[in-house]
Amino acid sequence: MKNITTLSALELGKLIKNKEVTVVEAVKAQLEVIRKRDASYHCYLTVMEQEALARAKEVQKQIDAGELDFSPLAGVPMAVKDNMCTKGTNTTCASKILYNFTPPYDATVIEKLNKAGAVIIGKTNMDEFAMGSTTETSHFGETKNPWNTAHVPGGSSGGSASAVAAEEAFYALGSDTGGSIRQPASYCGVTGIKPTYGTVSRYGLIAYASSLDQIGPIGRNISDCAAVLEVISGYDPKDSTSIDKDSYSYTEALVDDVKGMRIGIPKDYLGAGLDAEIRKSILNAAEVFRSKGAIVEEFDLTAVNYAVPAYYVIACAEASSNLSRFDGVKYGYRTENYEGLQQVYKNSRSEGFGAEVKRRMMIGAFVLSSGYYDAFYNKALKVRAIINEGFQKAFEKYDIILGPTAPQTAPGLGESLADPLKMYLSDIYTVSVNLAGLPAVSLPCGLDQKGLPIGLQLIGKHFGEKDIIRAAYSFEQAGSYIRPTLIVSEEGGIA
């Protein structure tokens, strides 16, 4: 048998179910790959080796007793972005201010995964408090792209995407506030789904922007992502924005059939600012859908041109409110230099937060301040409504919307931090989806001349996950997943 860590999550799950591989064997194989490779990529902040091995034995007993026959992912090792609470294991948000925070409870998605027999192998690196597009703002150091370690993996879920691409996890959870699942999935040549807002509980997700955040899966193909999404979706009374639906059976949408599907391509997504190689790949993808019987045409979606400024006003405003709870008093980092309560707050936050987080909190405080609320925040909310109306009008004619995930392939390390505005504009095709609360998926559709992956984005109507999953699966059947040529450091040994 070939190295099991090259398999998809569902392929491994089937081997475990058929008793061809034990859960302990799978976990040991995954841990060995992490030991060899993670020095090169720094995907993980915490590797839960002992916990994973103990959990593997527990899950194997459940499988042997026939208690997990319902779950195709039982026993499969996976990773979790480090902004989701895991009981008894550090959850840092890649920030100094939470460097030693150990939650006393599990996030709802963790509870659901545990019930399905998942084995969490570790917590992945991310941009601090999910604020960034490169995973370079992490207090604990940058993550690198497995396709080329001189390039970023994207962000903020860069550790999760990099871990899946580097075969250090079979699948991973990420969070998406303005593209933070889809953009790193695009940069790392893997697949990532951002579900409709309210489909997956946010209870236990440490908030960045509460009206935008959503948890979703990152996997090597759409089948793995659909299976994971099926597990983590569902109504949760602990999340007031959670929505109760009749069905979450996403795997039934894994059908190679898009005949008659109406697909729209916004002309605004193909204009100035889009790399020529990416434009070519997107148009080639459109031809694949046409060849399979879909109706594909271009249309105007001008409202999205205002998405980036509206998104950053709203996201920063919500962040300034959400992050006010981190004050150095109850938990996390506390400064050693203070006289009185006000200095505890001021010095702990000044020393505990990184530059990008401070920048966004200050922007948020400014746009919410007296005299500027109407000029910025209230206006951004109106633009958000216009963007939502634009999408709803488009979905009267089209089943899904097709476009690029990012305007360029993965930039080099250090490039984006030197120009924050350029980093913000890398979200130009993704933030509008969060503003409207829509589902979207990013999947690989080619490589550029530098050998870096190009991502294709499919956007669905509210609760239209099955449409984008069906389209993504059909597109996948026209080609095969391309793996990176993995680079491994001398300290990591030979892969």
How many Å apart are CA 446 and CA 424, to the nearest integer? 24
How many Å apart are CA 185 and CA 174, to the nearest integer? 10
Residue 332: how many other CB atoms lie within 10 Å = 20
Q: Which of 180, 186, 281, 474 is catalytic?
A: 180
Residue 243 burial by CB count (10 A; 0-12/13-18/19+): exposed, middle or buried? middle
Residue 391: how many other CB atoms lie within 10 Å = 23
How many Å apart are CA 346 and CA 324, to the nearest integer? 11
How many Å apart are CA 242 and CA 340, to the nearest integer? 41
Residue 362: how many other CB atoms lie within 10 Å = 12
Helices 307-322 and 379-394, interaxial angle, to 10°? 130
Cα–Cα nearest to 40, from 141, 130, 190, 128: 141
| Peptide linkage before 474 cis (omega within 30 of 0) | no
Strands 77-81 and 215-219: unpaired
Compute CA distances 105 → 91, 109, 153, 204, 210, whole Å.
11, 12, 30, 8, 20
Cα–Cα nearest to 171, from 122, 130, 134: 122
In sequence order, what are the residues at sequence separation of 6 or more whose Cβ sits closer than 8 angstroms to the Cβ of residue 222? 191, 254, 441, 443, 469, 472, 473, 476
Contact (Cβ atoms closer than 8 angstroms) between residue 437 and residue 198 = yes
Contact (Cβ atoms closer than 8 angstroms) between residue 309 and residue 275 = no
Contact (Cβ atoms closer than 8 angstroms) between residue 21 and residue 30 = no
Contact (Cβ atoms closer than 8 angstroms) between residue 108 and residue 138 = no
How many Å apart are CA 241 and CA 228, to the nearest integer? 21
Q: Specify whether 180 is catalytic.
A: yes
Strand, helix or coil for residue 5: helix
Compute CA distances 73 → 47, 68, 116, 189, 420, whole Å.
20, 9, 7, 22, 39
Q: Which of 36, 71, 81, 432 is catalytic?
A: 81
Q: The tokens of 109 are what?
A: 């998605």
Sign of CA dihedral 471, 474, 480, 481: positive
Q: Which of 138, 156, 162, 442 is catalytic?
A: 156
Q: Specify whether 156 is catalytic.
A: yes
Contact (Cβ atoms closer than 8 angstroms) between residue 78 and residue 120 = yes
Give catalytic residues, as residue numbers. Answer: 81, 156, 180
